[in-house]
Amino acid sequence: MADNFLEKQMEDYRSGRRAMAIRRPAVGVTSVFIVGDDREAIERCVRMCRALGWRTAFADSDQQRGRDLAQCTGSQHHPIDASDPDSIARSVETIRSRWKSLDLVIIAGSNRESDIVRLINDMQIFYLFA
């Protein structure tokens, strides 16, 4: 039976009916911050995390698009300045102070990974490459 389930899942994935597999990370994840350069991947992650019931925040330099996504999904948008590497760190600190915790950071296709990891190196980090 397990083989049939896995085969069906792979079939769905290959045919495009299943865009991304969702797997729950470690027990206890309730809050997530999504950052990166790939806006489409950020949007997919926000929608999946909200569907899992997690408090979700994301960073985007496009204010209007970020506001629209936040309103549509019930997440928090943190506008960032792409030319200021510390804007991500300020967003993380804001989230931590508001929520009192931040469990997971998802980096969606960023070319500034080392800067992001340096700023938030004490957290569980998940990389997503679209």
Q: Band of the pLDDT at 16, cuts 50, 70, 90?
A: low
74 burial via Cβ count (<10 Å: 0-12, 13-18, 19+): exposed
pTM here is: 0.68
CB neighbourhood size of 29 (10 A): 15
Domains of the chain, by residue range, sit at 22-128
Strand 104-108 relative to strand 76-79: parallel, antiparallel, unpaired? unpaired
Query: pLDDT tens digit string along 41-87?
Result: 889 889 988 988 899 999 988 889 999 999 999 999 999 887 787 88
CB neighbourhood size of 120 (10 A): 21
Strand ranges (E), 1-130? 31-36, 55-60, 76-79, 104-108, 124-128
HSE of 109, CA atoms in CB hemisphere, 13 A? 12
- What CATH number does the domain located at 22-128 have? 3.40.50.720
**Cα of 72 vs its chain's centroid, Å:** 16
